[in-house]
Each structure stands twice: as C-alpha cells, then as structure tokens.
Structure 1
Amino acid sequence: MPRPEVAGLRSRGRWPPPAGPRVALVGSRRPSPYGEAVAEQLGCHLAAAGVIVISGLALGIDAAAHRGALNGGGTTVAVMGTGVDLVYPAAHSRLAEDILASGGALVSQFADGTQPRRGNFPARNWTMAALSDAVVVVEAAEGSGALITAQAALELDREVLAVPGSIFSPLSVGAHGLIRDGAGLVQNARDVLAVLGVQLEVLDDPLKPPPGVGFEPARARDGLLIHLSEAMAVSVAELARKVRLPVAEVLGRLTSLELEGAVRRHAGGYVKALRRGGGRA
C-alpha cells in the first residue's frame, strides 16, 4: 500500500526526509540491556542500508534506535508527543540536537508549546505507524504503548515485525504475542530489509555482535570501572552515554567484567563487586 504523507505535521530539521524505506523501531521505556542492544544494532544496520529509522525520542528502545541510526551514519526521525519546540524527556536534548545535525528531523502533530500529556502519546504512536513502511517491536510488556503502534500499523496495512526475547521476561510478552499472531520474526536487519523488498536473501543467523564485544584484556575496560561505585547502580544505557560507546559494546564489556568478578548486577544496573572480606575486586 502506498504510504501517503501525514498532513499538518510541524517539523524541525529536514522534512520530508530523503527518499527511501522507513522503519519504526519501538518498544519499552524500561528495556533490558538485551533489548537496548538489539534496538541500537538494528537502528545502526538499517540506517547503514539506507532505511530511514523512525522512533519516538522516548527513554529506552526509542533512544537506542535513534542512537543506532546515528552510529550507522543514516537518517533518523523523532515523532514527538509534544510540540517540536519542547524536547521530552529533557535528558534527550543532546540526542535531539544530534538527530538534527545528522540531517534528520523532529516532527509532531501537536502545536508548538504542547506539553507532554498522557493522551498525546497513543496519537503519536499512530502517526509513527502512518509515517512508516514497517513497524518493528523490540521489547514490549503487555499493554505497552509499542503495541498501540503495532495495532495502528496493522490497521494502516503496514508490515509488523517483532524481535523475540527471553521466555522468562515480561518484556517479551508483547513481542511474542505479535509473533504468535503472525508478525514477522526479526533476528537481524536482513529480515527487515527482506520484508521491505530491499534485500531478498535472508540468512537465518542472529544479529551480528558489534566489534569490541568479547573478552578483551582488562586494561581496555578500565574506563567503565571509573564510572561505577560499590553502592549506586548504573544502568547499561547510562554508562554507554557516559563513555560514548554503543550499548551493545558496553554490555559485552560488562559481561566480561562480571565473569571476572569485577562487577555485579544490582537494582537494574551494575556496581563494582567487592571481594570477600570487603575489599574491592
């Protein structure tokens, strides 16, 4: 089905974006490290293939998708639930600036000055679906707003795909439900490109880990430990922002440090591990 442009959108930056397929990457505002890493890698690989990556500038999966597209040297568009003159959350002001500087855009169906209100975001999610050729759900708990975007995509005759997750995680319920009901299963960017008709051959291998994920010597990871304490947990996403590295790479390094006993998981993030007897690892 042809994708007509949504009328009446306000914008900052380059709008409409360059010609090419558009994919919305959506999901939880409080994803697992796995979900953030997948969203960032998909955003990167899709953008590098010439796909316009669309998301909502929210915390979690949205931000990871935008960051990935920027890392891939492509174009990304943030569809906002506020006026385009008001970045929400405010912590993403730098990300919004990076999107504009890279040739992307901030767009909104709401008037300038519109504050973030609960009712704005379901409407915003419909707009994301309308602007896209396909919607990919990375992680979504039951009742997640990302499922509103997926439902809108179905009603607008867009493609809907989902990334499988852990059967033990409530964040997998939404995506697994979509797959059970017929959504395309995504293991890598090629699965999405095939649906778009950009690349026909789809290999059944998983998302390729980024360079740098693995078991490097500890000296290559000293920079991560500087930003960790023994008591205050730091999330993978926050740590990635501090050291300006992709989430997937930071996650891989933290996994190595965890296996070495240098860090441990705590309260949704990571802290430095203590040796028995109270000394630092």
Structure 2
Amino acid sequence: MTEHDSPTGLSRRGFVVGGASVAASVAIWTGSAAPAFAAATPTLPGEKSRKANQTTNVGKKPYDNIEVDIKGDLARIFVPQSVKPGQSTPVPVVWFYHAPQSTHDAMNGGFLWNAEYVVDQGWIAICQTAGGAAWTNSVAEKAQLDGWAYVNSVFPVRDNLLRATSGGGALACGVYATRAIPKLRGIYLVNGVYDLWATYAYNGRDAIGPAFGYNETLIKQRNPAIAPQSAWKGANIRVVYSVAPGVDTTVPPKDHSLALIAKAKPVASEASSRTHTLGHTQPSWAWGDSITAFKRWVS
C-alpha cells in the first residue's frame, strides 16, 4: 500500500484484540483575516524540532508544528496556539494513522489539510510513527499506549478521535475495539484496513508478514476483525470507501469498510458511510467530512 502525499493522504497500521472540490469541502469554516500569533507553545518533553507560528490554510489559525520523541517513537503534533500545556480546559485530540511505508511526517504531507482542519477547531492533532511497518504487533501497541500517556501528561484531554487511511485502519480499529485508550468518541476510516488477515491473505503477505515474523497464527490473533460485535457497542463509526467504476483493489471494501459496518451497525451509536469512485485514492472532501463527523460525536 503506497502513501500518497497529495490530497489523497493515506494512513496505516494494527492492534491487539481479545472527489469534490476543496472549496466545497471547506464551507463549514469562515474567516480569512491574517492571524494574530499568540505566544508559541512552550518546549514540549522530548521535543526534537518545530515549525513555529504556522497558519492553517482555511481558518487562518496560528499553530506550532512540533516533532517529539516518545520513548523512541517519533510523533508530530500540531498544537493550536490557543491551547497551552497544563491548561484547565480540556480539548479534543485527533490521532492520525498513516500507511505502513510512511512515518509521522505524513502529517506534513497527505494528512496536512485534514490536520489543519483539526487545528481550526482549536483541537490537537497527532501522528506517530508507531513502529513503522509494525501493523498490529506489540511494537505498534506499545507506541500507541506510550503516545497516549505522553499526550495525557502534557495536555488536558476531553475526547480522543481516530482518523485513519489505508493500512492505518488496522491499528485504529484495534485501538477502538479494545478501548485501548480512554475517552474514545469515534473513528473515521478512509479506504481503511479492518480485517488484517484478509489483507495479508489477499495481497499483503510481504507487507504484513515481517512485523509478525510470518507467524500466521499471531496475525490472526491480532486481527481487529476478530473482536466480537459487542466491542462496537455504542461506537461512532464512519467509513469512506470506493464503488464502481473505481473500486479499491488494494483494500477491497467488502472485506473492510463494508464488513466493519455490517458487524457494528446493530450495536453502534452511529455506523455510517460515504462513497467515492477514486479507488484507493482519498477524496479531498474527506477532510471536511471527517471534521463534521467529529464535531457531531463530541457535541
């Protein structure tokens, strides 16, 4: 699965279990005045580098783009300058999950617009490398848990929201199905992997196998799709997948988006979907659609 760094922004990974125009997709944001930069975000624990005083493309909101090391795993965090470490008011955090071949720098590429839309809401966005191509193995799991512990120690968190594309869907689905981190309000998948074993068996043996030492029993055990239906009780889920004439052949919807919706819908609070015809390419309208869903889930 390849990572597209254009308006297609892909995502990635796995976890333990027991297009419309840009103008059309940004209509929910207003205001174009030049930003008034507040004080920059104080140096964060483990900070490696930053691009300070950035401005979102749509809402013209000031933020700091900060790279941090979380116990050996690099992460990129977009912090609105309206949010300060240790403040009394908690804020939502959106976790981005990228494709296996990518890193935390996906938030400077394919996820950039979507992450800036998060900043426009006054929320924090984070993307971890989380073990590279670790998919759902213990490396990816530990990185996710360490990431949550880090964010929760620095910022007051009101809600956690998951945003994944491509192979990143596996980790995001595993995190949600197991409630591995608290305060989970919803998951938004674009062409996302849900059934790790189906991906491995279909076209991903050499992409997924190394993370598990080609141990097929282990892959099956750590497949988010084996979670019982009860794991999705009360969940908020929205999937974006492709239909003819441009059906996704990399992550076939019948094995992933449609299978997840079919399992979750009887017990979920929301299990909705939207389609496109771009194959495994992400439609640009997903940026705005994801924020609309997130706002619905945290209201």
How would you bin the TM-score normalised by the shorter chain? Answer: 0.3 to 0.5
**TM-score under structure 1 length normalisation:** 0.33
**Greater C-alpha Rg:** 1
Structure richer in strand, relative to its length: 2
Structure richer in helix, relative to its length: 1
**TM-score under structure 2 length normalisation:** 0.32
Which one scores higher on RCO, CA 8 angstroms, separation ≥ 6? 2
